[in-house]
């Protein structure tokens, strides 16, 4: 089973529902973890689970809570795709990124994190630092780190190298996880073919 995790904090729930529509169209199971203190939004849709603790436990804590819930309560999860509330995408791009992951796995590429290319409101791609690698894969860039939103991590990787560092709360959880992947000789890859709109630093 493929799982999507969306973490929210006082979001525009109409936008979150649009995200859910696209993810369901891509045949994913969805966990929404709402970090909004005293949040009271409810959702009643098949294959969508809404979790909250009543406090803001940060992005890393929310991701970890959802992963642990999935392990204990849902069918076996093969891969997890992560989002925050500031991304816009279409189901075809979700399917496309999972197809690329399947392709990489068929080549026995040691994938740690596979991400799509984030496009900021300015129209520019979100900048990322490229790893100079003579064995580069066509159609992908090897990066030092991959931002968490619209990134896929195989469950096997999460089991082997551990979950996110909750003490980092929000910033740097994705870069720290990516650096840990590199330490374990796993690749952090960004697709040149799959793009999505993302607002960086939304208040």
**DSSP character string of 129-196:** PBP--TTPPTTEEEBS---STTEEEEHHHHHHH----GGG-STTHHHHHHHHHHHTT-EEEEEEEEEE
More confident residue, 130 or 164: 164
Residue 31 tokens read as 């966990």
Residue 202 has pLDDT above 80, yes or no: no
- pLDDT, position 201: 56
pLDDT in tens, 120-146: 777 777 777 888 765 668 899 999 999
pTM listed for this prediction: 0.93
* Domain coordinates in residue numbering, the chain: 2-198
- pLDDT, position 9: 95
What band does 203 get if pLDDT is binned at 50, 70 and 90? Answer: very low
Give the fold, CATH level 3, of 2-198.
Spore Coat Polysaccharide Biosynthesis Protein SpsA; Chain A (3.90.550)
Half-sphere exposure of 11 (CA within 13 A, CB side): 23
């Amino acid at each position: 089973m493929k799982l999507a995790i969306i973490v929210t904090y006082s979001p525009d729930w109409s936008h979150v529902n649009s995200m859910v529509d696209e993810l369901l169209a891509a045949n994913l199971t969805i966990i929404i973890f709402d970090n909004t203190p005293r949040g009271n939004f409810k959702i009643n849709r098949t294959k969508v689970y809404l979790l909250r603790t009543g406090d803001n436990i940060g992005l890393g804590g929310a991701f970890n809570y959802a992963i642990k819930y999935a392990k204990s309560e849902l069918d076996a999860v093969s891969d997890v795709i992560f989002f925050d509330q500031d991304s816009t995408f279409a189901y075809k791009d979700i399917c496309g990124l999972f197809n690329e992951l399947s392709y990489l796995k068929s080549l026995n590429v040691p994938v740690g994190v596979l991400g799509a290319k984030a496009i900021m409101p300015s129209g520019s791609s979100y900048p990322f630092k490229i790893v100079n690698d003579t064995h580069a894969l066509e159609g992908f860039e090897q990066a030092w780190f991959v931002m968490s939103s619209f990134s896929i991590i195989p469950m096997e990787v999460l089991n082997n190298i551990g979950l996110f560092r909750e003490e980092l709360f929000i910033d740097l959880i994705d870069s720290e996880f990516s650096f840990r992947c590199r330490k374990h000789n796993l690749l952090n890859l960004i697709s040149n073919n799959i793009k999505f709109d993302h607002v960086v630093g939304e208040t």
